[in-house]
């Protein structure tokens, strides 16, 4: 099975972004890709809450129909890293969709961990202002292989990835729109760590470049093997397709060499247990 990740610099024009995704699907099909991932907020990189809501009301259903048709036309699993969908609260959910080669929606995942942070050298981020958090981890089936779904900031929470691995994931996914400062500092280290800890392949399609809404994203999309080796990567900006083979034997070998699941132990915590009385 050949894995693909398409790096984008998405705009606030859904039609333009969908055209870019379809072009990536066509190239991936030509190369024999089975699974193709595109980044977080691939279809609409909106400027604000109003922009998100306009897309949800007027463009979401059309976009999802087109994405399903792309998966069917190009006969691949298409993982849309995320789009905004409506939530009962009046906010949105940051939702990833996995389409099967027959065009149907095979799975979806709502981002659990929302990025509320003050990043030195960048504007403050309050993802929870516009989005509600998901509550359910998801492992989907891709051609008989377990695919664990996550989005961007989730990568900083290793327990999610341990849970996905225990539930049968052999491939982990981190479609993202990382900031430039945090990307430079942590992106590669976090991706490789999650792959190493779990003995999984990790596919991370990223946004990269200067966006029309003023945001700058880090890029450097990656595919990492179960031993933590980067087997394919992009640069810091613009669109680009990377591919790498999935090898179940490498998953088995990595897990047998370092059997973390078998060696894992449960423990209790007592704060200051050894402090002098």
Instruction: Please pick, among 9, 25, 40, 91, the residue that the annotation labels catalytic.
Output: 40
- pLDDT over 90 percentage in the chain: 81
CATH fold of the domain at 2-258? Nitrilase/N-carbamoyl-D-aminoacid amidohydrolase (3.60.110)
Give dist(CA 207, CA 178) in Å, integer.
7
Instruction: Please pick, among 9, 25, 92, 152, the residue that the annotation labels catalytic.
Output: 152
What's this model's pTM, rounded to 2 decimal places?
A: 0.94
- pLDDT given at position 118: 86
Let me know if 184 is a catalytic residue: no
DSSP-derived 3-state class of residue 159:
helix
Let me know if 188 is a catalytic residue: no
Let me know if 200 is a catalytic residue: no
Instruction: Please pick, among 111, 200, 216, 234, the residue that the annotation labels catalytic.
Output: 111
The pLDDT confidence band at residue 236, using thresholds 50, 70 and 90, is: confident
Report domain extents, the chain. Answer: 2-258
- pLDDT over 70 percentage in the chain: 98
Give dist(CA 80, CA 39) in Å, integer.
7
Average pLDDT, the chain: 94
DSSP-derived 3-state class of residue 224:
strand
Give dist(CA 116, CA 158) in Å, integer.
18
Q: What is the pLDDT of residues 126-172, one digit of tens each?
A: 999 999 999 999 999 999 999 999 999 999 999 999 999 999 999 99
Count of Cβ atoms closer than 10 Å to residue 135 Cβ: 7
Q: Burial code of 212-248, b = ≥16 C-beta within 10 A, e = fewer?
A: eeebbbbbbbbbbbbbbebbbbbebbebbbbbbebee
């Amino acid at each position: 099975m050949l894995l693909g990740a398409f790096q984008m610099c998405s705009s606030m024009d859904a039609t333009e972004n969908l055209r870019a995704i379809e072009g990536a699907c066509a190239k991936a099909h030509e190369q024999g890709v089975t699974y193709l991932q595109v980044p977080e907020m691939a279809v609409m990189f909106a400027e604000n809450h109003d922009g998100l809501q306009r897309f949800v009301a007027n463009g979401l259903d059309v976009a999802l129909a087109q994405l399903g048709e792309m998966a069917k036309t190009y006969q691949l699993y298409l993982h849309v890293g995320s789009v905004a969908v409506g939530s009962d609260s009046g906010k949105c959910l940051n939702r990833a969709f996995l389409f099967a080669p027959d065009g149907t929606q095979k799975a979806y995942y709502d981002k659990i961990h929302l990025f509320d942070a003050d990043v030195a050298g960048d504007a403050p981020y309050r993802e929870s202002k516009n989005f509600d958090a998901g509550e359910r981890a998801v492992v989907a089936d891709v051609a008989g292989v377990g695919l664990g779904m996550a989005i961007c900031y989730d990568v900083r929470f290793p327990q999610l990835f341990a849970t996905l691995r225990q539930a049968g994931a052999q491939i982990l996914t981190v479609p993202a729109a990382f900031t430039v400062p945090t990307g430079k500092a942590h992106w590669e280290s976090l991706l490789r760590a999650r792959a190493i800890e779990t003995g999984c392949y990790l596919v991370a399609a990223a946004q990269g470049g200067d966006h029309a809404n003023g945001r700058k994203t880090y890029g450097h999309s990656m595919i990492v093997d179960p031993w933590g080796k980067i087997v394919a990567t992009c640069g810091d900006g613009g669109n680009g397709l990377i591919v790498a083979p999935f090898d179940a034997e490498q998953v088995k070998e990595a897990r047998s060499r370092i059997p973390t699941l078998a060696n894992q132990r449960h423990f209790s915590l007592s704060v200051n247990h050894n402090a002098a009385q």
